[in-house]
Amino acid sequence: MASLKSWVTIRENHHFSIANLPFGIIHSKYDASHRPAVAIGDLVLDLKAFSSHKGFSALPSLDISVFSQTSLNAFAALGRRVHGEVRSYLQDILSESTTHPDVLKDNEELKKAVLLPKHETKTHLPMAIGDFTDFFAGKNHAFNVGTMFRGPANALQPNYTHLPVGYHGRSSSIVNSGTPVRRPNGQIVLDPAADPKIPFFGPSRKLDFELELGAFLCTGNTLGDPIRIADAEEHIFGYVLMNDWSARDIQTWEYIPLGPFNAKNFATTISPWVVLAGALEPYKTHGIPNTNQLFPYLKETDSYTAFDIKLSVELTTAEESTSLISQTNAKWLLWSFPQMLAHHSAGGCAMRTGDLLGSGTISGEGEKELGSMLEMSQGGNREIWLRGMEVRRWLLDGDTVTLSGYAGEDEARVGFGECVGRVESAVIF
Amino acid sequence: MASLKSWVTIRENHHFSIANLPFGIIHSKYDASHRPAVAIGDLVLDLKAFSSHKGFSALPSLDISVFSQTSLNAFAALGRRVHGEVRSYLQDILSESTTHPDVLKDNEELKKAVLLPKHETKTHLPMAIGDFTDFFAGKNHAFNVGTMFRGPANALQPNYTHLPVGYHGRSSSIVNSGTPVRRPNGQIVLDPAADPKIPFFGPSRKLDFELELGAFLCTGNTLGDPIRIADAEEHIFGYVLMNDWSARDIQTWEYIPLGPFNAKNFATTISPWVVLAGALEPYKTHGIPNTNQLFPYLKETDSYTAFDIKLSVELTTAEESTSLISQTNAKWLLWSFPQMLAHHSAGGCAMRTGDLLGSGTISGEGEKELGSMLEMSQGGNREIWLRGMEVRRWLLDGDTVTLSGYAGEDEARVGFGECVGRVESAVIF
Ligand SMILES: [Ca+2]
Ligand SMILES: [Ca+2]
Ligand SMILES: [Mg+2]
Ligand SMILES: [Mg+2]
Ligand code: NI
């Protein structure tokens, strides 16, 4: 892709280059209303203000009322073609060689009104999320965890390569990056060998993060009318980073036979800026190959179904010492989001604008490429070494987990920014 | 409770007596807007019209804008005290001995405007449902199903009596009674003994219903701030009947290790009229006793935590022959809804107005009191006999399942009406 250059000053390797232009919801110091915006470098383009100042008059068929909403849902619902048009137009407006210099580049007054310094704005959840589904497509993660319980020969369950395993999550506890995360209380069995098992009730002692990629849907389907694999890509609005906080000890006791529940529903953090599917298109790559013969409803014609997104995880202690604890890549998925969507709706389940799909924990192949402490500490059985010789097996109160991710280089970097959460101590019952 | 008598003609044992006054959302022949209403006998009181004609002027502090909404959420969010006031006031207005005869009883013109014949109205989903959680509190059901897989000695999982097991469901596919239900396609393993297991993809051959009670929440909690057991009851708006349609064969293959997914998310049917918690108060009874020592966060002071609601299930074939296949009672639950709520939020999960909790399948103790065909046919191993010597093991295309339920007698009957769904044939892939 020929690299665009913006008249906005953007430092090298900034996640929010002109090649990106992710969408989010902000409010600002001088306008408390929640409204759509686009991030460009260290600035934020206020789309409500921009559209009300006729910034989109070159796109006369665009319904600009979508930029007066408090979530991106109405914009998303316009569909992929419109997202592409709007993003291309904004790339033009913001580029050094813009064909419309009068609109913004040479309009100092409008610049002041619509381009806000990021530090004067605050982000909010970008979408109104109807339903949230978390998948388990990170094959290395599934293998690593399965090995702990059943050994390497039986690590993957028999269904694992036949269908994208997933479960319904909780949409009410999805929070924006920066929101503190309270350690959950729950029932925990300390001695798994005891018979009968005796739980106690108290704060989770095995609080973990999960590094995931999330996909937001722009359009859905009617109940009973499955999304076909060939059409699935068109239903994906864009992507965010996702931390699916997990209380491993609560999960062990509660999850039989109906799956994870309170172990997951206390918080799920996402990054605030939705990177549009179109912005990641140049970074499509192979996922983990599936050697299974797939059913037609899951078979993709294109084999570039994953994204080459470099992911990292940092852990910052209460004393503000930061350690890089993982570096991996979003390509380590056995199932693509279109496959997840085709499977999810195969029985007729209705998908809606704003629904969020999580990839499942993403782990690479090496031991520095793991997406959870469960894997890093091998179930709490060994220490994870941090800077200054501190150690962790699980998260402590006061720890901050920062997920980060980007594709591309220099002036064409397409990044997510950060997905951050700090652990607060549990409620005392 | 002294029995009220209404000036509205209501036949004996009608579900919608003056003692009930369930709330729903309707539209009518002459007004297509979706709006709140109350059912009384074969009439429907249009609350939008009633409030706009000053019907609630005797309750000056009531925010009547809640009756111009397209769901009951705004009304629910006002809280239990207000629901009680509104329901009492409407009971007075509708009673033969009303203290306000001028408001409606003697006002023929207003009667015509606000009391609509039910057949001229159509119901809609009563609430905007943020999240849906299905529990597994029907101990007899859990025991029956566990026995099939593990024998009676190990039928209940070790956690079963310690916490209300539940899983997150799918809110997008909750449908109003009467909505047709498409048989789902999915991956199915025909020979569970084969190694390796070979799935095929096609229509579920083991389509089942589940008889459940659903509870809608009126108020929620802030993320991180659990609902305490003593306060939980105040968060419950009211109850509906729920059919948690289930594809047993899809579930068997998909549910390991993360629980039911496509086996459940293709449709969940609820009855349209929300029976307010206050209306069921006189019918509280003991649930199934839990001999476990419970943690304080689950311990209730009152032991009348279930409801004496008579439940029935009818199956109507495509040829319109109807068989009563089950008669049971909503009291057959090990866990109460307040316990479910206290557990659900114990780790800090945010509950919201409009959230729906399902009880789990309700089965009594006898073989005519079962809440699913899975139990009636013992996993498909024996025939369920219908009228005219027809048999079923699972549902056929064209079958209609009708759940019904009520508490109380005669002029004080508090019923749910019906929760109906007809099975349509699967999409052809
Ligand atoms: Ca996860
Ligand atoms: Ca159920
Ligand atoms: Mg989570
Ligand atoms: Mg269901
Ligand atoms: Ni309608």
With residue A374 as reference, give the H or E element that holds it.
Answer: helix A373-376
pLDDT in the model for residue A411: 86
pLDDT per residue over A228-249, tens digit each?
A: 999 999 999 999 999 999 999 9
Report CB contact under 8 Å: A171, B130. yes
Q: Within an 8 Å CB–CB cutoff, is residue B148 touching chain A?
A: no
- Residue B210, annotated ligand binder? yes
Task: Compute the distance from residue A137 Cα to the ligand 1 centre, in Å.
Answer: 9
- Residue B387, annotated ligand binder? no
- Residue A413, annotated ligand binder? no
pLDDT in the model for residue A1: 42
pLDDT per residue over A98-146, tens digit each?
A: 999 999 999 999 999 999 999 999 999 999 999 999 999 999 999 999 9
Chain A positions in Cβ-Cβ contact with residue B427 (cut-off 8 Å): 224-226, 348
- Mind telling me how many Å the CA of A156 is from chain B's nearest CA? 10
- Compute the distance between CA of residue A64 and CA of residue A35 in angstroms, rounded to an integer: 12
**pTM of the model as a whole:** 0.97
Report CB contact under 8 Å: A158, B223. no
Over residues A307-335, mean pLDDT: 98
The set of residues, in sequence order, having a beta carbon less than 8 Å from that of B57 and lying 6+ positions away, is none
Report CB contact under 8 Å: A266, B224. yes
Query: Structural domain boundaries of chain A?
Result: 23-124, 132-424
pLDDT in the model for residue A4: 87
Q: Within an 8 Å CB–CB cutoff, is residue B230 touching chain A?
A: no
Reduced to 3 DSSP states, what percent helix, strand and coil does chain B have, rounded to the nearest 5? 25, 30, 50
Surface of B (337-376) touching A: CB under 8 A? 343-344, 346-352, 355
CA neighbor of A149 nearest in space, from A372, A365, A375: A375
pLDDT-flagged residues of chain B (< 70): 1-3
pLDDT per residue over A13-22, tens digit each?
A: 999 999 999 9
pLDDT per residue over A68-77, tens digit each?
A: 999 999 999 9
Task: Compute the distance from residue B272 Cα to the ligand 4 centre, in Å.
Answer: 16
Mutation site, B266, B292, B341, interface A, largest A CB count within 10 A:
B266
Of B172, B199, B204, the CB nearest to A349: B172
What tokens does A182 get?
A: 């309270």
B34 is catalytic: no
* Average pLDDT of the residues of chain A: 97
- Compute the distance between CA of residue A148 and CA of residue A156 in angstroms, rounded to an integer: 11
Q: Scanning the structure block, which residue is given the tokens 């086996």?
A: B263
Q: Within an 8 Å CB–CB cutoff, is residue A296 touching chain B?
A: yes
**Residues A390, A159: contact at Cβ < 8 Å?**
no
Count CB neighbours of A226 within 10 A: 26
Of A169, A296, A352, the CB nearest to B172: A352
- Mind telling me how many Å the CA of B63 is from chain A's nearest CA? 25
pLDDT per residue over A261-298, tens digit each?
A: 999 999 999 999 999 999 999 999 999 999 999 999 99
Third-level CATH fold of B132-424: Fumarylacetoacetate hydrolase; domain 2 (3.90.850)
pLDDT in the model for residue B3: 67
Right CATH for B23-124 from 2.30.30.230, 3.30.390.30, 2.60.40.420, 3.30.70.20:
2.30.30.230
Over residues A147-165, mean pLDDT: 95
- Compute the distance between CA of residue B182 and CA of residue B429 in angstroms, rounded to an integer: 13
Q: Within an 8 Å CB–CB cutoff, is residue B5 touching chain A?
A: no
- DSSP per-residue codes, B52-113: HTTTTTTSTTS-GGGGGSSSSHHHHHT-HHHHHHHHHHHHHHHBTT-S-TTTTTT-HHHHHH
pLDDT in the model for residue B2: 52
- Chain A, nearest residue to B341 by Cα: A262
% residues pLDDT > 70 (chain A) = 99
